[in-house]
Every structure is written in C-alpha cells, then in structure tokens.
Amino acid sequence: MPFEITVPPAGESITSAVISSWHATDGAHVAKGDVLVTVDTDKVSTEILAEAEGTLKIGAQPGDEVKIGAVIGQILEGAAGASTPTAVPNPPKGDEKPEPTPPQPTARLAEAAPVPSPVPAPVPAAAPAAAPTPKIDLAVLPKPSAPAPPPASSDETGRITRQRMSPLRRKIAAHLVNAQQTAAILTTFNECDMTEVMNLRKLLQDGFVARHGVKLGFMSFFIKAVVEALKTVPSVNGRIEGDDLIINHFYDIGVAVGTERGLVVPVIRDADKKSFAELEKEIIHYAGRAKEGKITLEDLQGGVFTISNGGVYGSLLSTPILNPPQSAILGMHTIQQRPVAVNGKVEIRPMMYLALSYDHRQIDGKEAVTFLLRIKDCLEQPSRLLLEV
C-alpha cells in the first residue's frame, strides 16, 4: 500500500504552502527518514521526511501552491526504485554460435493484424506480474490552466527580473505594513559606551569557552539588560488587546535572525532564569536552525519583546519597526570608535547607538526613556547585571 506525502499543518492561520524543492527525483528509491521535500509557508519552512522505504512518485512541482493536508506525492512501499535485472545468457563456448534472438514486435506492429506466434522454446516460470502503480489523487492539488511560470523571468532587454515573492516575504511585508497602520510608533535614541562589556569579554573569554564550549558574545549582555529594564518599567512588557492592556509577568525575549528567506525572530524562553552560557547556546542553536530553514512555528511564538541587531550588517543608526503584538523593540547598531567627553576630557571610546521603538498608545515617553537608560546603565556597568542593582 502506498504512503501518501501530505503537507503538514503549520498553524491555525496558515491554509496553504508552496513547494520549495524536492530532494529526490521522481522514481528514485528513498529510505525511511530521508528528507523528501521542503515546503514554505508564510512563517516557516518545513522539511517532510519519508515515512517508509520505497519508490518516490512526485505529484506537485516546485513553485506549486498547495493546501495544508494536500497529497503532493506517494511512496510506493517495497519498490526498489529500479527494474528487475534481466537474466544475461551464458556466453557461447568454443565453436558454438549464439542462437539469434527473435526480433521483438514494435508498437506499430502490435497495432496491426495479429501475427502467428512462433513455437515457444522452454522458458523458466515467469515472475509474478508487478502490482499496478497506484495513482496520486490529484483532486486535492491545484490544477493550473497553464504551465506554472518559471521562478524568475527577465524582459527582452535583460534590464529587469520578475519573480514571485515567497510566502515568508509576503508575510513579512504584510506584518510590517500592519504594524505601521495599527500602532502609534515612536522611537527614542541613546548611545552606550561598550568599553566595560568589551573589557569583560576579553578578560573572561578563554575561561568562558573552556568551561561552556561557546564564546561570550554581546547578545547575552543585551538580553540580560532588557530583562532588567522590563522589570524596572513593567508597562513595556505588555500589549494592547482590543480595549484591554495585557501586562506579562514572564520574560520570553525574541532575537531577530536574518536568513536568505527573510527575517525570523526565534524566542528565548524565560530569559530571566538563564545564565549567560545558556543564553549564548540558545542563540547559536536558533541561528543555526534559522539558516538551515528548520525553525518551527513554536520557536517563533509568544515573545514579549524583540532585539534586532542591525550592527552585524554595519548599520550605524536605524528605527526598528514593532513586532506585533509586542509594544516595543530594541535596535542594536555597529560599535564605532568615537571621541566622547569622559570626566572633562576627550577620549576615544567604542560607542553604540541604541534605538527603542515603542507603541505610544501604551507607553509614555518618560517610560520609554527610562527603559532605554536602564539598558544603557546595565551595559556600561555590567556588574549591575550580576548583582541585579
């Protein structure tokens, strides 16, 4: 009996997916657990694994949009993926001459009048006939009236290229427009002297790597600082839901990760209860999963606040957009050596601009500034993070 390959559910609001690529060809032999196909939804990419060993029969092509639960292929269980080998006659010995093989009738002859069959020679018993190949029920698949267009096309002059937006990119676009239209977004800025954090990393890096197996990065400091700021200004740790204001009493922090498919924001759960080493390991784990396209819907849900690091791309200053339904987002930027006044003297210090975008319907300007100053204080004096003062 064939195993049907169906599009798995990816969340209540997701009704369709796009076939991204097949990892095996039609008719190929696959083993149980092999990655068969990658499908993209408007939130995540999902790899579908083979549930049995057999021959793959593909029913939907890359670029096709299919419904959740649709059958996009089958695995013909027990098939070896290749035809049964034909017995090779023994080579002639000595002066023996091989008997000529009678010509096989062609398809054209088969359509003509019947031809008397020659006297059959004794042959071994024939193998049982193979079971007919079951057909995929294509009723659940879209039936385009014309062949699917290529992924990208250029005009005759080659001056432009047109291609269809991926579901993830379309979702990001709609998400950002919705954030701009439904929230009163305002941004406040400050700058942070990263000298103490950089000195602490340099002093403890070797011992940290030796003990925990990961490097001590900047993001764990920022996550800890954000948690302290959320505790100081609880109104930032909330969201508007209709006419209600919801205040969260937990600290699940989203960290934006850029991938080839677009920006995703995996969530680090209970960041207030995790050590620096645990935070760094989770950041590396989610970054790897995001780049491999293995982020799940559960990884992206439930965050109360987001941190976006445009500094890794060289951004000096930006105004991040909210990640609804959250009410605020912190933008990190590149560290730049700049002259600053320190105790009445001009010194060159590693400085970073910080940007906090927030929903002014929920958060007042005073609260936003206080929140950002708390982050600045925690980073300029990292001992505050350890002593929680």
Read off the CATH number of the domain in which 226 is found. Answer: 3.30.559.10
Residues 214, 321 within the same domain? yes
Q: Is the peptide bond before 325 cis (omega within 30 degrees of 0)?
A: yes
Per cent of the chain over pLDDT 70 is 78
- Same domain for 183 and 75, yes or no, is no
Asked whether residue 95 is domain-assigned, the answer is: no
How far apart are the C-alpha atoms of 71 and 158, rounded to whole Å?
Answer: 38
Region class of 175: left (phi > 0), else alpha (psi between -120 and 50), else beta: alpha
Do 19 and 78 touch, CB atoms closer than 8 A? no
pLDDT tens-place string over residues 6-36: 988 766 557 788 888 899 999 899 998 898 9
Instruction: Verify that 242 and 361 share a domain, yes or no.
Output: yes
Domain CATH code at residue 7: 2.40.50.100
Q: Do 248 and 237 touch, CB atoms closer than 8 A?
A: yes
- Regarding whether 373 and 335 lie in a shared domain, the answer is yes
Q: Active-site residue numbers?
A: 360, 364
- Whether 63 and 196 map to the same domain: the answer is no
At 301 the three-state DSSP class reads: coil
* Residue 162 belongs to some domain of the structure: no
Mark out the alpha helices in the chain (DSSP H runs).
107-111, 167-182, 195-212, 219-232, 276-291, 297-300, 365-380, 383-387
Strand stretches in 35-184, DSSP E:
35-40, 45-49, 54-58, 65-67, 71-77, 152-154, 161-163
Residue 63: inside a domain: yes
pTM over 0.85: no
The answer to whether residues 243 and 347 belong to one domain is yes
Domain span at residue 265 reads 169-387
Residue 117's pLDDT band (cuts 50, 70, 90): very low
Helix (H) or strand (E) holding 99: none
Q: What is the DSSP string of 227-266?
A: HHHHHH-GGGSEEEETTEEEE--S--EEE-EEETTEEE--
Q: So what's the pLDDT on residue 116?
A: 46
**In a domain? residue 93:** no
Report the domain count for the chain.
2
Task: Name the more confident of 246 and 262.
Answer: 246
Domain boundary among the residues 101, 116, 148 is at 148
Within a domain: residue 218?
yes
CA gyration radius, the chain: 31
Same domain, 325 and 245: yes
